[in-house]
Structure 1
Amino acid sequence: MQDPNTLCRRAVEYLEEYRDSQRHLRADGVGRSVGDVWKPPPNSIFKLNFDATVFVEAKRTRFGAIIRNDKGAVMAAMSTGGPPMSSSEEAELLAGRKAVEFATDVGFSELVIEGDNRNVMKALSSSLDDRSLLGNVVDDVRHLVYGMHWINFSCIRRGGNRVAHALVQHARNISEDVFWLEDSPPPALNALYQDSLLL
């Protein structure tokens, strides 16, 4: 048994050491604008972030998506492949479709859907007919979200979409699609940690 005063003093020292280390860790976030930071969705709503990359030299396209709750906890995530494409906008739009399809398959119906391509997010959130070459993909996404209870499309800068981007980078070297349910995906642990420091 130790003296209660000693235990109390040690507890205060540990708390101060913890706070000091947190201040040092937060230094990574200094200088970022608000649009560069992932923000949690409202209570009882989930946020779906997605991203895509065209790996021209490998002639492949890869998608990544993650669904988190209002506390930042991972509900579901995926790293998948897609067909070869020449345009990053086309890849982002197909990634959005794949991500929404994934979200509906795992049972989410109240979502903030967030991507980092302004044109894609504008097309998905518009109520006007899309007569572009990719209009059928936009229609597919609209059809998928039609049955949801609550939906909101939002555009974020790449810095706020770092977890989805990490999942895309992981997908670069996989031959089969990978899914995680209620488990933090190992390839995105660092990005998840960085987001948690800013919550």
Structure 2
Amino acid sequence: MDFKVNVDGAVCATQKEAGVAVIIMDAQGLVIGALRKKIKAPLGAIEVEVKAYEAGVQFAKDMGIQEFILEGDSLTISNSLAEHSLAPSVVAPILDGIVSSLQEVYCVVLSHVRRQGNRPVHLLAKHVLALMIFLYGLKSILIS
């Protein structure tokens, strides 16, 4: 495979927001694309993870990548996509959409990585949340 699509999500329960991030690397490990996205909804961890996988697949397709390794640190989502286990009902419709979307690309290999191995994309997802908390605090100061 020439490309690896790493995905991850992070939750900020106090702000009722989440962040997802995607990093796409080429065969040499060079970053060719990165995406971070804020979700303004009180989602749980499994829901945010599946949204990260969804964003990763769409981002790869948008970049015209037809063959890639899709890697994340959610064993539940990886196993559900690989049809090794049933999807949790709360994310089943989103997973069905991802599976449908993956049928439009040439080849995808699913890979699970431990959180330590997914650190760069996890930090990017957390950065979205930290930025939003900072801006929220700044807004509160400016308004007072």
State the TM bucket, normalised to the shorter chain: 0.7 to 0.9
Structure 2: runs of 5 or more not aligned: 134-144
1:17-166 pair list within 5 angstroms: 42=1, 45-126=2-83, 130=87, 132-166=89-123
- The whole-number CA distance in structure 2 between the counterparts of 1:105 and 1:128 is 29
* TM-score, with structure 1 as normaliser: 0.62
- The whole-number CA distance in structure 2 between the counterparts of 1:147 and 1:55 is 33
Closer/same/farther in 2, CA of residues 61 and 149 from structure 1, 3 Å limit: same
Deviation of residue 127 (structure 1)?
7.3
Confirm or deny: 8 A CA contact 2:16 2:43 kept in the other structure. no
Number of residue equivalences: 132
Q: What percentage of residue pairs aligned between the two structures are identical? A: 27
* TM-score, with structure 2 as normaliser: 0.84
- The AA in structure 1 aligned to 2:41 is P
Closer/same/farther in 2, CA of residues 120 and 68 from structure 1, 3 Å limit: same
Match of 1:23 in 2: none
- SS of the equivalent of 2:46 reads helix
Q: Deviations over 1:25-76 (max 9, x none)?
A: xxxxxxxxxxxxxxxxx4xx20000000110111101001100011101111
Q: Deviations over 1:130-159 (max 9, x none)?
A: 572321101111111111111111110011
- SS of the equivalent of 2:105 reads coil
Structure label with greater radius of gyration = 1
Note the aligned Cα RMSD (angstroms): 1.9
- SS of the equivalent of 1:119 reads helix
Q: Deviations over 1:105-130 (max 9, x none)?
A: 11111010000011011111217775
Closer/same/farther in 2, CA of residues 73 and 83 from structure 1, 3 Å limit: same
Structure with higher strand content: 2
Structure 1: runs of 5 or more not aligned: 1-41, 176-199
- SS of the equivalent of 1:63 reads strand
